[in-house]
């Protein structure tokens, strides 16, 4: 049984001062760096959108950030422009120890589909390839940390549990966006999916 630490989207745009800042997002960095030492495999995810991405409110005339729209794959929150490929906002937080990463998996690069989860795009069918990577390495046990608890951590952990991985979310090393009760809903959904919340 091999375990991996999955570090979700600790990028400048999700930290204070960023385009889609999560309160206290930067506070978790020292604890995440320290936790890396306890894992034989460390994987980072990076939200990585082309300019004009369909999840950006700016791509939908008249739409306000944090409103929702119907996409062919379901309801999508429209976000402020964030994590544009190659921009400073898409870079990892400067203090994150990226040297320890075995793999950096990018997601959200498909212009027409957002990807909260590290495993599947928001159509819940297009794979990112992470499942195959983990399985071929014999990794069965995942600990997840990062941003944001109620979106990318939530979707990644739920998908991982559904795929049969043993999953723990370290809530102390996550921070949430918490729009309209989304944090409580996410925590309930995670427990329902069989994810351990530590
Ligand atoms: C995220 C909203 C949009 C996240 C990414 O990392 O939780 N949230 N893109
Ligand atoms: Zn995004």
| pLDDT band with cut points at 50, 70 and 90 for residue 44 | very high
Mean pLDDT score, 142-149: 98
* Ligand 1 proximity of 152 Cβ (cutoff 6 Å): yes
Looking at residue 61, its pLDDT comes to 96
Looking at residue 92, its pLDDT comes to 98
Q: How many residues does the chain have?
A: 198
Q: Quick check: 119 and 154 in contact, CB under 8 A?
A: no
pLDDT at 1 over 80: no
Q: How far apart are CA 117 and CA 196, in angstroms?
A: 17
User: How far apart are the CA of 49 and the centre of ligand 2, in A?
Assistant: 7
Atom 1 (ligand 1): residue with closest C-alpha? 152
* Ligand 1 proximity of 183 Cβ (cutoff 6 Å): no
Question: Which residues are annotated as catalytic?
Answer: 9, 107, 152
Mutation choice for ligand 1 from 147, 159, 176, CB with most ligand atoms inside 8 A: 147
Looking at residue 64, its pLDDT comes to 98
Q: Which helix (H) or strand (E) holds 136?
A: helix 130-136
Task: Return the ligand 1 atom nearest residue 153 CA.
Answer: 7
Q: Would you state the structure tokens that stand for residue 156, as one six-digit string?
A: 């990644």
* Ligand 1 proximity of 48 Cβ (cutoff 6 Å): no
Indicate left, alpha or beta for 72 from its phi (over 0: left) and psi (-120 to 50: alpha). alpha
Looking at residue 20, its pLDDT comes to 98
User: How far apart are the CA of 1 and the centre of ligand 1, in A?
Assistant: 30
Mean pLDDT score, 76-97: 98
Looking at residue 139, its pLDDT comes to 98
Q: Quick check: 102 and 41 in contact, CB under 8 A?
A: yes
Mean pLDDT score, 130-147: 98
* Ligand 1 proximity of 139 Cβ (cutoff 6 Å): no
Looking at residue 62, its pLDDT comes to 96
Mean pLDDT score, 106-131: 98
Q: How far is CA 161 from CA 46, 117, 138, 156, 183, in A?
A: 20, 12, 16, 9, 18
* Ligand 1 proximity of 148 Cβ (cutoff 6 Å): yes
Q: What is the mean pLDDT of the chain?
A: 97
DSSP structural state of residue 150: I
Q: How far is CA 48 from CA 54, 71, 159, 195, in A?
A: 13, 19, 19, 26
| pLDDT band with cut points at 50, 70 and 90 for residue 196 | very high
Looking at residue 16, its pLDDT comes to 98
User: How far apart are the CA of 63 and the centre of ligand 2, in A?
Assistant: 17
Mean pLDDT score, 176-185: 95
Q: How far apart are CA 165 and CA 168, in angstroms?
A: 10
Atom 6 (ligand 1): residue with closest C-alpha? 152
């Amino acid at each position: 049984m091999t375990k991996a630490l999955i570090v979700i989207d600790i990028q400048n745009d999700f930290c204070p001062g960023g385009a889609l800042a999560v309160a206290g997002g930067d506070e978790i960095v020292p604890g995440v760096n320290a936790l890396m030492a306890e894992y034989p495999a460390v994987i980072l995810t990076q939200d990585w959108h082309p300019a004009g991405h369909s999840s950006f409110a700016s791509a939908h005339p008249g739409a306000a950030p944090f409103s929702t729209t119907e996409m062919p794959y379901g309801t999508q929150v429209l976000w402020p422009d964030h994590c544009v490929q190659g921009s400073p906002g898409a870079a990892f937080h400067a203090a994150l120890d990226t040297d320890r990463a075995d793999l950096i998996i990018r997601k959200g690069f498909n212009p027409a589909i957002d990807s909260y989860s590290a495993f599947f795009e928001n159509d819940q069918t297009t794979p990112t390839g992470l499942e195959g990577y983990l399985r071929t390495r014999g990794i069965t046990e995942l600990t997840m940390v990062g941003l944001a608890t109620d979106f990318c951590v939530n979707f990644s952990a739920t998908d991982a549990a559904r795929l049969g991985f043993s999953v723990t979310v370290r809530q102390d090393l996550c921070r949430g966006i918490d729009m309209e009760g989304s944090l409580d809903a996410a925590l309930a959904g995670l427990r329902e999916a069989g994810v351990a919340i530590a």
